[in-house]
Amino acid sequence: MNLLSSAWFWITLIAILVIIRDIFIQKSHTITHNFPIVGHFRYWLERIGPELRQYIVANNREELPFNRQERSWIYASSKNENNLQGFGTDQDFSSPGYIFIKNAMMGFNPSKEHLYHQNPGVLPAAKVIGLYHKRAKPFRPYSIINISGMSYGSLSAKAVESLNKGALLAGCYHNTGEGSLSPYHQNGADVMLNIGTAYFGVRELDGRFSMEKLKQKVEENPCIKAIELKLSQGAKPGKGGMLPKSKINKEIAEIRHIPMDKDAMSPAFHSEFSTVPEMVDFIESMAAETGLPVGVKSAIGKLEQWEELAAYMEKHGKGPDFITIDGGEGGTGAAPHAFADHVSMPFTFAFAKVYQIFQRHNLTDKIFFIASGKLGFPEKALMAFAMGADSIHIAREAMMSIGCIQAQKCHTNHCPTGIATSNKWLQAGIDVTLKSERYYRYHYTLVKEIAEITHACGYEHPTQMTMDDIEWSMGDNNRTMALSKALGYTKTEISYSGLEDLVKCPHLGGLNARKRLSL
């Protein structure tokens, strides 16, 4: 009884102190001033609101950016659990934009000797990056699905290492994000080096780009297979990023070539060029000095400069080897809400408009198109391939495969899963061996299901999908429309001679994965 009395004494004392503080001292919050104690519960509930809605309020299909059904499919796939659903679909077939994939009466049936039966999770890209511009080191991605740019610093060391080791198992490449190549990107997987507006990792301390540092980085790291010049990204097009100095440790400073005592600011735009011809010259100089294919990544808004780029490339025969089109749905980078919600077009319209521009200039069979923006699901990936994509970049889906729960705290440094934080305690819960295997299982399942649906449509490879193989629901009027009619174009047919020719290509990446499979 004395112990109980003592506990209640301390509880009462703390409550009185909180009341005194709320009413007489703090001036910031009217709620807690007017309703001491109870007001704190209101703020606490608000703080955990996203988690409560995820598991209690929202139904399986309504939550954004990824609903519970989508997250559950990724989690089950990554854990090699049952990812099937029973008793039919719970989707609304009449909702506008609903995707219908048209299966064939008699699909493509791989023979017993077909490579699909050796490993259904292997599907190389149908095009070679850099071949048209005669780069010294052209590159055919070993996988049609690859990891999009997420920087070390934004993601934790253990998260980056998990993804890279998972990419090694899958044979896909791992984009570094603009934070440059870190030791955690160097576990054997192919790498795409992302260069942003701050030129992290290939710059002088004053921020100027250094070609010598780029050449040195490429020479010392043969895992780098291509260079991606980031113009903008879906989360915040036209706005640079910022890594606060509180998150900059000695290792990050050395990797990015930045001082430790200042916030790391990424400018909104590049300082090395300001016109299309200057950008092309910059791309060509990097390709000439490194031998690697060089492409650009961008969110899409105004189209005039894309028209100019396509015309310039057609006339001069030089320019980017690949174009990564990032939909406005992108979101691994924290951004002001107006940028995230309203600036740049969503993937479908962005890709369709840019693809048509390059098609009019007879370049779509010469450029490698990468699609990005919530496409890490079989039906969405196949829609992108039908529209003209050659491969898919995934980011948040990859994060979820290694444990992300969509807490939406990426920008706070308090990610509860340790994935998007530099906090050592929170990172400690990540088992790299386990998480790398989970990314691999998700990647394997995604590629396998893409292949299965492709076969159901009568094709061997998803690049053979046409815009007439996919239809959209036009709403509750019992009408559907083929992509070709809805978007106003038919994609350029790509030369394809069979999967066996792809795996025998001398430019095929994924060397370590190929050794395991004897391909």
What is the residue-level pLDDT of the chain in tens, covering all 519 positions?
555 567 777 788 888 888 888 888 877 666 677 778 777 776 676 666 666 666 665 555 556 677 777 888 888 888 888 877 666 666 666 677 788 999 999 999 999 989 898 888 889 999 999 999 999 999 999 999 999 998 888 888 999 999 999 999 999 999 999 989 999 999 999 999 999 999 999 998 888 999 999 999 999 999 999 999 999 865 555 556 667 776 777 888 888 888 877 777 788 889 899 999 999 999 999 999 999 999 999 989 899 999 999 999 999 999 999 999 998 766 555 556 666 566 778 899 999 999 999 999 999 999 999 999 889 999 999 999 999 999 999 999 999 899 887 877 777 777 888 888 888 888 878 889 999 999 999 999 999 999 999 999 999 999 999 999 999 888 777 788 999 999 999 999 999 999 999 999 999 999 877 766 655
Task: Measure Cα distances from 44 to 11, 19, 40, 317, 413 in Å.
Answer: 19, 17, 6, 59, 18
State the Cα torsion 256-258-264-267 to the nearest 10°.
Answer: -80
Which residues contact residue 157 at a Cβ distance below 8 angstroms, ignoring those fewer than 6 apart? 182, 184, 427
Q: How many residues does the chain have?
A: 519
E strands present in 290-405: 294-298, 322-326, 368-372, 391-394
Q: How far apart are CA 448 and CA 115, in angstroms?
A: 12
CB 400 within 8 A of CB 66: yes
E strands present in 127-167: 145-147
CB 354 within 8 A of CB 421: no
Q: For residue 514, which amino acid is it?
A: R
Please state which CATH number belongs to domain 98-515. Answer: 3.20.20.70
Domain ranges, ordered by start, for the chain = 3-57, 98-515
Q: What is the DSSP letter of 99?
A: E
* Max CA pair span of the chain: 90
List the end-to-end C-alpha distance of the chain, in Å, as a whole number: 75
Task: Please report the pLDDT score of residue 288 as a whole number.
Answer: 97
| Global pTM value | 0.87
Q: Give me the phi and psi of 28, to 5 degrees please.
A: -80, -35
Task: Quick: pLDDT tens for 37-56.
Answer: 777 776 676 666 666 666 66
Q: How far apart are CA 76 and CA 229, in angstroms?
A: 35
CB 328 within 8 A of CB 373: yes
DSSP letters spanning 11-51: HHHHHHHHHHIIIII--S-HHHHHSTTHHHHHHHHHHTHHH
